[in-house]
Structure 1
Amino acid sequence: MTADRKRQAREKFLLGGIVVRAGLSKADRAFLLGALLELARVAPGSAEHRRLRDIGEEAFKAPPLDDHSPRIAETAAWR
């Protein structure tokens, strides 16, 4: 495996970990992609961007959500 492929694999692994940490591992993939596409429209440095970043910073400080999180049950029902 080349260094570039290793870097790409690690990046995907880390991004997947964020999905799990948010309690969205059982969410519908189309829902996740739609949400990410909406997030991509948020202008960097905007008030909304700062607000969402602050939420994320706090979430990284908190313990990860587990499989018994109510958020997982809610998102699984959205499929």
Structure 2
Amino acid sequence: MTADRKRDAREKFLLGGIVVRAGLSKADRAFLLGGLLELARVAPGSSEHRRLRDIGEEAFKAAALDGPSTRMTQAAE
């Protein structure tokens, strides 16, 4: 496997892990894509971007401290 393919596979694996951590592994693919497209419209540096980033950072911290967290699932709802 080439270095580029390994890097691409790792990126997809990490992104899939984020979907699982958010409690969205069983969500409809069109729903997920729609949500991601909406997120892509949020301007970097905007208050909404900062708010969502803060939620994500807290979810990562919670997962690092005590494993899978229900707070991440709740944040995704």
The alignment's TM-score, normalised by the length of structure 1, stands at 0.81
Is 1:19–1:25's contact at 8 Å kept on the other side of the alignment?
Answer: yes
Superposition pairs of residues 10-49 of structure 1, within 5 angstroms: 10-49=10-49
Is 2:43–2:49's contact at 8 Å kept on the other side of the alignment?
Answer: yes
Q: Please list every run of 5 or more consecutive structure 2 residues that lacks an aligned counterpart in the other structure.
A: none
Higher RCO (C-alpha 8 Å, min separation 6): 1
Report the Cα distance in structure 2 between the residues aligned to 1:20 and 1:14, rounded to whole angstroms: 10
Q: Please list every run of 5 or more consecutive structure 1 residues that lacks an aligned counterpart in the other structure.
A: none
CA deviations over 1:25-73 (Å, ceiling 9, x no partner): 000000000000000000000000000000000000113247xxx76xx
Is 1:43–1:49's contact at 8 Å kept on the other side of the alignment?
Answer: yes
Report the Cα distance in structure 1 between the residues aligned to 2:69 and 2:21, rounded to whole angstroms: 6
Aligned length: 70
C-alpha RMSD of matched pairs (Å): 2.0
